[in-house]
Amino acid sequence: MSNLNKLDFTALEVSGRNYLKWVQDMKLHLTTKGIRATVEESIDDNPIDEVEKATAMIFIRRHVHDVLQTEYLAEEDPHTLWLALTDRFNHQKDIYLHETRHDWQHFRFQDFKSVNEYNYEVCRIQSLLKFYKVDLTYADLLENTYSTFHATNIVLHQQYRDISSPNFQI
């Protein structure tokens, strides 16, 4: 009985805060079950089996918050439910892109206790920007690091910038 409460991945929250991750997880799981076509636009005129639709609806409803289950109780088609959730939460990508760009522009090396913490944050932000199709070059990463040096370390800032320049010679 306790296995019925175990989820394959985190359920979609009411606020939609985890929508982007939820969509990725949902697509992967629906693909592995062979029923992803139930939530996508049909390319050809192949009708989708009612059993597949029911399986997809059970799986989707099982992975959304109880409040959302109640709100979308009238939806009986997985594609319609998918579109309704997309209309409601897909704007999250725009919000998080803005937040991530803000984080990228405003974090500083001296705000971290260790280099590992700083590197973790750089990797996290870089990964999010890559997810949003914003590419950062190695030069961008270096420039951001150099620009975060404290004003008292301006000499180090300039030295590191000179060393990393493509024209530097030993």
pLDDT tens by residue, 18-36: 898 999 999 999 999 999 9
State the DSSP code for 90: T
HSE-up of residue 12 (Cα within 13 Å, Cβ side): 25
- Domain identity same for 23 and 75: yes
**How far apart, in Å, are the Cα atoms of 148 and each of 55, 96, 118, 141, 161?**
52, 23, 11, 11, 12
Instruction: Classify residue 79: in a domain, yes or no.
Output: yes
- What pLDDT, on the 0 to 100 scale, is given for residue 101? 87
Segment 98-135, tens digit of pLDDT: 888 888 888 877 788 888 898 888 888 888 888 888 88
The answer to whether 106 and 36 have CB atoms below 8 angstroms apart is no
Tokens read off for 122: 């750089």
Q: What is the value of pTM for the model shown?
A: 0.66
- Domain identity same for 24 and 47: yes
- Domain identity same for 52 and 100: no
- Domain identity same for 135 and 154: yes
- Domain identity same for 109 and 37: no
Query: Which domain does 100 fall in, by range?
Result: 92-164
Q: Residue 151 in 3-state DSSP?
A: helix
- Domain identity same for 102 and 75: no
Instruction: Classify residue 154: in a domain, yes or no.
Output: yes
HSE-up of residue 89 (Cα within 13 Å, Cβ side): 20
Number of separate domains in the chain: 2
- Domain identity same for 115 and 133: yes
